Amino acid sequence: MNNEFEKLYFWILAAAYLKIYQHNCTELKTHFKHIELKKLKSSKKPYDHLCQKTYHKLTVSLIERIKHWSTPLDHNKTYPRNLEKCLSFLDHETSASGKDHAVKTMKSYLPNLPWDVKHIFVAIITEKIFQKKFEESAMYFFTHICDLVGKKHGEIFLPVVECATEYIQKNWTKGTLDASLKLFEMVLKMLDNMKKKPYKLTIIFDHFFQKLLYHPLSDVRTFVAKFLFREYLNGFDLRQLGSACIRVSDELVEKCIREKLSNSYPDLIVKEQVDKGSNALVFVAETSGGSESLLYMLQQKTLNDILQTNSTDEAYESFHDISRAVNKCQGHDNIIKLQNIPSCSALPFYVVEHGIPLLQFLHEKENKLAWSQMIDLLIDITNAINHCHNQSVILRNITPASFEVVPRLNGSFQTKLSNFQYAKCTLTEETDNNAEEYIEDINILSFQGDEHEPVPAYFSAPETLQNRTFSKCTEAWMVVATFYSVLLYGRQPFQELAHLKVSDFVKEIISYHRVEIPGLFDQDLWEIVNCNFENEPSKRKLVDQLLKDLEAYKVNLGVKNNIIYSVKSICSYINPEDIQKGYLDNEGNFIFENHEDLPPEIYKDYCETRESDYIYQTVHVKMNLNTRKKLKGLNHANILRVQEILNGPYKTTLVCNLDNYRQTLEELHTDIDRITILLYLRQLTMALEELHSKNIVHCDLRGSHVYINQEQKTLKLGCLGRAVSLKGNHIIKMMPSEAKKWSAPEVQANGIYSRASDIFALAIVFWEVLSTQTYIITQLRLLKPFKKCKSHMDIDFTFPRSTCAQDHIYKLVECMVECWNPNPIKRPKLSNIKQVIDELSDGYMTNRTEIINEPSDDDDDDEELYQYRYSHDDDAIVYEESEDSESEFPVYDKCIS
């Protein structure tokens, strides 16, 4: 008897129980007196076992109650009567006083009901709540019911959790699900308040919440994640995931993945996992009709992956690049067929057809293929690569393991490109037109990769191994290196280097090794592929020309057409796992690819200084390549120089030179003159202007992330670990909880970062700086001290305009208020903010009497500082050093806003 049948049988009994009360059905009562229940074999799965045991106990209890229902004074008759009275309260709307009376009545009835009758009551109440679409009265009663039932029998809430789960699975909008989540919250709150946690209720939630972990609505995912991964959180607030990383159980995650796929895609049967790439998990799957497929899914190793806390994470971006590349290259006979790719899913994946791995096919067919079949195989490989290049897709990983063989109906076979795990769409609608990693002309499209990016050692061109350059020319090398292996029926290429270790092999290739023709190769075929082993990329044939030569070669095969192609080689067989990947370090050593795996702990972002001159900032997100390149290319007087970026699977570390900038704006002295204050604010605005001109958004601007040198009165913006290179107008990533005070409303609500959100944060830093100066705060009463406010909403702007109209700081505050406009597009531009600061600086020096209670000791500082005067023109704004100045002052170029 399965669980569904057990539940159905129980509800038939419950209905019979109520019917006997209502109509005194003697025949029905007599029927139940003769029922005998057989003992069932219980399931080993905790949830199934709980269901079997629960419904068996309920069945036994109800049957016994019905069997002994004989006398008019029997208590069994009072139970359904009291039950009906309680249920009647839900059938009509009542006033507040009426609700209170109803609750009091229920409190007098419910505690005295037996546990099985309570179970029926809770199930019916739940059904009414969903029928009435969560009307206030139903929810009001349910709040009190949670306090009255279930403290001894956690399984009473089984129908509640089940119904709410089914409802949430069918609805994806926030408004419709608030009440369902509230039901969960009520029951969980009751669970938290119990000294001894009911194991049964925990099993129920574990089972049903696994079905909801990948729900499209982020509020649902976050709600259930807190329960499912409670043992990993240890009191950790999920709002802190914006600046932390939590590794979770692979086994539990896989269960949730399977639950999601079985519910949303019932025709897709997920089988065993067969591979783990750099960014993807690969499963064998079965689609409708019984055909075998491969399912590629974004790695789901951390809670950050599951809750999608950062859409700019490189792993996330790369997987979507792969999906886009597969989709873009469809419609060709030599490209694996895409069977499913959800357009919008909380679980990123795609499904493709699955054939026989090419290496396996070659090993099985060794010395059994005809010449024409072998050349067809080479032509299929070339056709696939040529089609990808025509679609502006660079694969970066062309080896025999990248292909599969799919049988045809006529008994022949066709080779298809199946592995896109390193593919890059070099030209897309989202591509930044100024992106530095793309170099395009008529003949070549090139991509500059990461210095630590792993590449297949045996199949990569010299410039790829040395410089991480990927282009049509490097792919032409990879294609013929793949040919070499295929022509040996799936062995390692380069026979003359077969005896070398991988590291030594790589050294030979980058040392301009001249590839030798194996004695077993056909001379004419070798002539076609040989030029692609040239060390000079421009001398290689591109894939389209290689395809033409191969097709011409096949036409002229003549008598060899049906002769068996036979080889004998000293090279060893290779399987996909033998195609080792790695990179060259600075000493020229080949470092093998290492899949870093975090243990199940919480890792938080941090900053630390080492050796006095360097600051190390670690953020737990893998920064994308474009951002890393742009940050390393920054060279501005007001931005800390990024010396090195260390990138791992779950973290990025930025190494910056402090250059004697030891103090932050957060630690600014309380007696700084106003001109110096304005000078700092102007330099900070220029730093942000430089970032924005490079399409970089800082995303984490605070006073503690800005470093100053008080002797030189100069400033540098740092802590760029969360910075992002924009591809559009905004990006989405989770806000660090500690950054809330500086964050714009759209960042706090939806994690939407943009240039406008940076400008909002810039004005907050202005407030932070101004409020450190006691004479500004106390004299002008414009701003509350920053540290005493929770957010910018706490600022008091109730001062009379007339008392402040003549004060120049007031004009800056007005500008700041504009920056805090809740509508991002109405915030001022950085050039406008800089203009306000310039006008204020000039105003202070031309009318010093307006500075109220300025400390007299600062007068000399003001005059000395003003020796560096502004020079304005259309092309540049610089500080010029006067003839009287003793020290050199940095020159600041104007940046394009």
Angstrom distance (rounded) from CA 826 to CA 823: 6
Q: What is the DSSP string of 46-72?
A: HHHHHHHHHHHHHHHHHHHHHHT--ST
Angstrom distance (rounded) from CA 845 to CA 859: 11
Asked whether the domain spanning 356-591 has the same topology as the one spanning 228-234+244-354, the reply is no
* Three-state DSSP state, 295: strand
10-residue mean pLDDT profile of the chain (897 residues): values are 51 56 54 56 79 78 68 61 69 63 73 76 76 65 67 75 88 83 83 70 91 93 93 88 92 93 90 80 87 91 92 90 93 94 86 94 95 96 96 94 90 92 73 44 67 91 93 95 96 92 92 87 92 93 95 91 91 90 87 79 89 88 92 94 89 91 86 86 96 96 93 94 92 92 93 96 92 66 73 57 57 88 94 91 60 44 36 34 33 27
Angstrom distance (rounded) from CA 12 to CA 66: 13
CATH topology classification for 604-880: Transferase(Phosphotransferase); domain 1 (1.10.510)
- Cα angle: 672, vertex 677, 681; to 5 degrees: 155
pLDDT at 150: 53
Angstrom distance (rounded) from CA 627 to CA 640: 16
Judge whether 447 and 397 are in contact, CB under 8 Å: no
pLDDT at 753: 97
pLDDT at 559: 87
Q: Name every residue whose Cβ is closer than 8 Å to that of residue 827 and which is 6 or more positions away in sequence.
A: 756, 759, 760, 818, 819, 820, 821
Nearest to 83 by CA among 131, 11, 21: 21
Nearest to 769 by CA among 677, 661, 862, 705: 677
Class of the domain covering 356-591:
mainly alpha
pLDDT at 280: 86
pLDDT at 793: 64
pLDDT at 885: 34
Q: Name every residue whose Cβ is closer than 8 Å to that of residue 410 and which is 6 or more positions away in sequence.
A: none
Angstrom distance (rounded) from CA 836 to CA 678: 10
Nearest to 220 by CA among 231, 229, 211, 207: 211
- Domain extents for the chain? 1-70, 75-209, 228-234+244-354, 356-591, 604-880
Which two three-digit tokens encode residue 35?
């029922």
Which two three-digit tokens encode residue 418?
């199946």
Q: Quick one: 228-234+244-354 is in which CATH superfamily?
A: Phosphorylase Kinase; domain 1 (3.30.200.20)
Query: How distant is the alpha carbon of residue 879 from its chain centre?
Result: 43
Which two three-digit tokens encode residue 549?
């030569």
